[in-house]
Chains A and B, each alone.
Chain A
Amino acid sequence: MQNSLDPAMPLLEVRGISKSFGAVHALQEVDFTLRAGEIHALLGENGAGKSTLIKVVTGVFPRDAGIVRIGGEDIAPRSAKAALAAGIATVYQEVNLLPNLSVAQNLFLDRQPMRFGIVREGEMRRRAKALLADFGLDIDVAAPLGSYSVAIQHVTAIARAVDLSARVLILDEPTASLDRHEVEILFRIMRQLAKRGIGIVFVSHFLDQVYEISDRITVLRNGRLVGERETASLPRLELIRLMLGRELAETTSARASAGEHKAREVCASFENFGKAGYVAPFNLELRHGEVVGLAGLLGSGRTETARLVFGAERADRGQARVEGTPVRLQSPRDGVRHGFGYCPEERKTEGIVAELTVRENIVLALQAKRGLHRPLSRREQDEIARRYVKMLDIRPADPERPVGLLSGGNQQKVLLARWLATSPRLLVLDEPTRGIDVGAHAEIIRLIRELCDDGLSLLVISSELDEIVTYSDRVVVLRDRAHIEELAGEAIDVGNILAAIAADSVAVALEAHT
């Protein structure tokens, strides 16, 4: 959008940053360059490493390797405060200011104008007013910050950061809770600041906004840098491909052709099923021996669909049917009773019971289904645990080990075992391969196929498009919390999914192109 002050010298330079948490590589040799006066979007799906990168740069996490330079000087901040002193300010989605203090007090917290040990309230207010006027804001600075809208709180946080002589401003999902008008105010201020030579890092998952405001885009995936481009020269389709796809070999469905699965019997169906403010009503048929993939960007309504289908969230309209019979589906217990199972994305908080053993975790759902008065004897539990530990190759093969001590991949297998033990008819898997090492990844995909061959019906969410393409019989594409397209048989390929996600404009562009 505009020329940097000194093109030869980047304002913020990040080179070869790596960061691991235990065995998980959150960042691997990531580079990032921010020029003065530039608005630079940092993009990537959940778990791509955006927040880790920000936290490493601002000193919240120590880094394992790499350098951070600001204005050519190496810095190694140990805290957010030290980063601020070096000129890097961060404004998070949840504004970390004090809502009970006045706007002026927030702006000058820690550095109030004093005389004889007394805060000069008048002086502070006058300066606060002047400062905000720069941002085109004319408000009563003596009123508590909490009495203003989130947008104004954001602007206050930004004004404070800039006044603290920040040269780099990092905005982490600043627009997530703003309405259209407020977003415009924020964007106007961002452009003003960029004109003054401040470098802005803009993290967002709203692609429209990214295209509207940013000059340059850096995309991360699975902790690695996958590309840095000028926004103007990066088509939206290409951007989504960078965010989601891998090498994009022309993978096509290895599954049965479109004609074959029509013949299969319907296992569960959902008619006009939905919940206001959660997911728009959708129709979905799941057949025995069939894998249906759910594809879409973060926040597109994939997990929401999964939770409605399982009963973890209560639908407020529509009808669910199991084997053709209308059923009530209002709680996870209902789902379990109808023979559904759900492996949530948040394995640690919603899946495993870390303290209990592998055996106890495996029998949990089956025991819940049988009820209190029909306890599984220890011998039955041992047998079930042993069978699934062997079948899914859970390691270490010790059913008495607390499940919290297992690796992510093995925890995922324990969760699969928990549901398989209930002999389900439908399994809903939310990101079953997320955060799992490569070996276990392939194994889980193999398992998904085998289960399906045994007549189980599967609904699988994944951000890895080539993975979805590999195992799905049908793919439902979601955007903005609505089901927008269903692909089947030959039509399932990464290109088609991307085209559906990337919105009509791209489809039109593609058509024009051919």
Chain B
Amino acid sequence: MTALLPRRGLAQILALIVILAVDRVVSPQFFDLRLQDGRLFGSLIDVLNRGTPVALLSLGMVLVIATRGIDLSVGAVMAICGAIAASLADTHGLPVVLAAALGAGLVCGLWNGFLVAVLGMQPIVATLILMVAGRGIAQLITEGRIVTFSSPDLVWLGNGSVLGLPVPVVIALGMLILTGAVVRGSALGLLIEATGGNARASELAGVGTRAMIIAVYVWCGVCAALAGVIAAADIMGADANNAGLWLELDAILAVVIGGTSLFGGRFSLVLAVLGALIIQTMNTGILLSGYPPEFNLLVKAGVVLAVLLLQSPKLSGFAGIATRLRGTKA
């Protein structure tokens, strides 16, 4: 389990601290927490709560990217599964609703995995298909309307609290622990990293690379389904057009900020989730600062660039040269 907390997370932790400090400056109450009706409130809790969908997506995405793939369809899968959950919520119990939504996510993942691993399509193209078609499927399920529901069970999933923490945050934490336990507790982590690092070599070493690739897309689909259910529960309805819109890009960003290369290989679950939190901390900070939201995207781009540069081996190379130059001068 030591691999869950690698030493290489320094750049991400530093970035998060800096952004938190900036947030504190723009909004003096940023770190205030208060307990009300057995539930914590405050900007920090808000960050965690709002960051949950992207954090969940990044858990699946990081595994897909570790195999040198990418999944553009997660936003659309969120929409599909949210729509399924919303349409079943008032007629069925929570277990059925969850099973149906997560099952749909699993099928979506199988489809992507099939296209990539069996038909050998490029992941970006293969998942683009479901990214486009998925929204259409979601609209078919909702029949073009925004489906609302009032099932208290499902609403609790989005707005309830456990031990003072919002339920979505608890779910995301649980998924992080579960994924970590499965991936690092079995040989899956090593075999995924080997597959992403060199698929041909891994196959010749007897690794079932095809099954590995299907498995990560399936997991990515399940994570997206959960994110979709939570997003629907949060607003007590499913909006096929806007649920999870563009979140695939945030999830990819979170993984990249977390230091996993798009060329596959080494990955870190914890740092990917940290990446999602960095993005959300930034979003919340900009909202609180009262700047016009147009700045949001630019600031985000700037911060992302900074984090990536901090991790870049080339840059540390330059830093090394600079130190050496200074050393010779002195």
Interface presence of B119 (CB below 8 A): no
Specify which chain A residues have a CB less than 8 angstroms from the CB of B204 in the assembled complex: 310, 312, 332, 342, 344, 350-351
Is the Cβ of A367 less than 8 Å from the Cβ of B197?
A: no
Is the Cβ of A352 less than 8 Å from the Cβ of B201?
A: yes
Candidates B187, B201, B202; contact of A374 at CB < 8 Å: B187
List B residues 192-208 near A (Cβ within 8 Å).
193-194, 197-198, 200-208
Is the Cβ of B201 less than 8 Å from the Cβ of A376?
A: no
Interface presence of B188 (CB below 8 A): yes
Candidates B188, B193, B203; contact of A332 at CB < 8 Å: B203
Taking the closest CB of chain B, its distance from the CB of A47, in whole angstroms, is 20
Is the Cβ of B201 less than 8 Å from the Cβ of A360?
A: no
Specify which chain A residues have a CB less than 8 angstroms from the CB of B191 in the assembled complex: 364, 367-368, 372
In the bound assembly, the distance between CA atoms of A312 and B206 in angstroms comes to: 10
| Tally of contacts, chain A with chain B, CB under 8 A | 82
Interface presence of A213 (CB below 8 A): no
* Given pairs A353-B201, A356-B266, A360-B194, 9 additional interface contacts (CB within 8 A): A349-B200, A353-B193, A353-B194, A353-B202, A367-B191, A368-B206, A368-B208, A374-B187, A376-B187
Specify which chain B residues have a CB less than 8 angstroms from the CB of A376 in the assembled complex: 187
Specify which chain B residues have a CB less than 8 angstroms from the CB of A363 in the assembled complex: 190
Specify which chain A residues have a CB less than 8 angstroms from the CB of B187 in the assembled complex: 367, 370-376
Is the Cβ of B205 less than 8 Å from the Cβ of A336?
A: yes
Candidates B186, B198, B206, B266; contact of A349 at CB < 8 Å: B198
- Residue of A with least CB distance to B265: A355
Interface presence of B6 (CB below 8 A): no
Specify which chain B residues have a CB less than 8 angstroms from the CB of A374 in the assembled complex: 187
What is the size, in residues, of chain A's interface with B at 8 Å between Cβ atoms?
A: 33
Is the Cβ of B186 less than 8 Å from the Cβ of A364?
A: no
Which among B186, B197, B206 has the greatest number of chain A C-beta atoms within 10 A? B206
Is the Cβ of B206 less than 8 Å from the Cβ of A369?
A: yes
Interface presence of A289 (CB below 8 A): no
- Residue of B with least CB distance to A336: B206
In the bound assembly, the distance between CA atoms of A378 and B190 in angstroms comes to: 11
Candidates B186, B194, B200; contact of A356 at CB < 8 Å: B194
Interface presence of B185 (CB below 8 A): yes
Chain B 167-189 interface 0/1 with A at a Cβ cutoff of 8 Å (1 = within) = 00000000000000000011110
Taking the closest CB of chain A, its distance from the CB of B263, in whole angstroms, is 9
**A368-B191, A370-B187, A374-B187 are known contacts. Are A356 and B206 too (CB-CB below 8 A)?**
no
**A353-B194, A360-B194, A368-B191 are known contacts. Are A375 and B186 too (CB-CB below 8 A)?**
yes
Is the Cβ of A335 less than 8 Å from the Cβ of B206?
A: yes
B-side interface mostly: helix
Specify which chain A residues have a CB less than 8 angstroms from the CB of B207 in the assembled complex: 364, 368
A-side interface mostly: helix
Is the Cβ of B201 less than 8 Å from the Cβ of A373?
A: no
Is the Cβ of B198 less than 8 Å from the Cβ of A360?
A: no
Is the Cβ of B205 less than 8 Å from the Cβ of A375?
A: no
In the bound assembly, the distance between CA atoms of A354 and B198 in angstroms comes to: 8
In the bound assembly, the distance between CA atoms of A354 and B185 in angstroms comes to: 23
A-B pairs with lowest CB-CB distance, top 9? A336-B206, A353-B197, A368-B206, A375-B187, A365-B205, A368-B207, A353-B198, A355-B265, A355-B197
List B residues 1-30 near A (Cβ within 8 Å).
2
Chain A 458-496 interface 0/1 with B at a Cβ cutoff of 8 Å (1 = within) = 000000000000000000000000000000000000000
Taking the closest CB of chain B, its distance from the CB of A339, in whole angstroms, is 11
Interface presence of A418 (CB below 8 A): yes
- 19 residue pairs of the A-B complex, CB under 8 angstroms, read A332-B205, A342-B204, A349-B198, A349-B200, A354-B197, A355-B193, A356-B194, A364-B190, A364-B202, A365-B205, A365-B206, A367-B187, A367-B190, A369-B206, A372-B186, A373-B186, A374-B187, A375-B186, A375-B187
- Residue of B with least CB distance to A352: B201
Specify which chain B residues have a CB less than 8 angstroms from the CB of A371 in the assembled complex: 187
- Residue of A with least CB distance to B203: A332
Specify which chain B residues have a CB less than 8 angstroms from the CB of A351 in the assembled complex: 201, 204
List A residues 336-352 near B (Cβ within 8 Å).
336-337, 342, 344, 349-352
Is the Cβ of B190 less than 8 Å from the Cβ of A350?
A: no
Taking the closest CB of chain A, its distance from the CB of B158, in whole angstroms, is 34
Specify which chain B residues have a CB less than 8 angstroms from the CB of A355 in the assembled complex: 193, 197, 265-266
In the bound assembly, the distance between CA atoms of A346 and B187 in angstroms comes to: 26
In the bound assembly, the distance between CA atoms of A365 and B201 in angstroms comes to: 10
Which among B198, B204, B207, B266 has the greatest number of chain A C-beta atoms within 10 A? B204
Specify which chain A residues have a CB less than 8 angstroms from the CB of B186 in the assembled complex: 372-373, 375
In the bound assembly, the distance between CA atoms of A351 and B187 in angstroms comes to: 20
Interface presence of A333 (CB below 8 A): yes
Which among B187, B193, B207 has the greatest number of chain A C-beta atoms within 10 A? B187
Specify which chain B residues have a CB less than 8 angstroms from the CB of A367 in the assembled complex: 187, 190-191
Specify which chain B residues have a CB less than 8 angstroms from the CB of A360 in the assembled complex: 190, 193-194
Candidates A354, A368, A370; contact of B205 at CB < 8 Å: A368
Specify which chain A residues have a CB less than 8 angstroms from the CB of B2 in the assembled complex: 378
In the bound assembly, the distance between CA atoms of A356 and B265 in angstroms comes to: 8
Taking the closest CB of chain B, its distance from the CB of A489, in whole angstroms, is 33
In the bound assembly, the distance between CA atoms of A369 and B2 in angstroms comes to: 24
Chain A 302-327 interface 0/1 with B at a Cβ cutoff of 8 Å (1 = within) = 00000000101000000000000000
Specify which chain A residues have a CB less than 8 angstroms from the CB of B198 in the assembled complex: 349-350, 352-354
Which among A355, A360, A373, A376 has the greatest number of chain B C-beta atoms within 10 A? A355
Taking the closest CB of chain B, its distance from the CB of A392, in whole angstroms, is 17
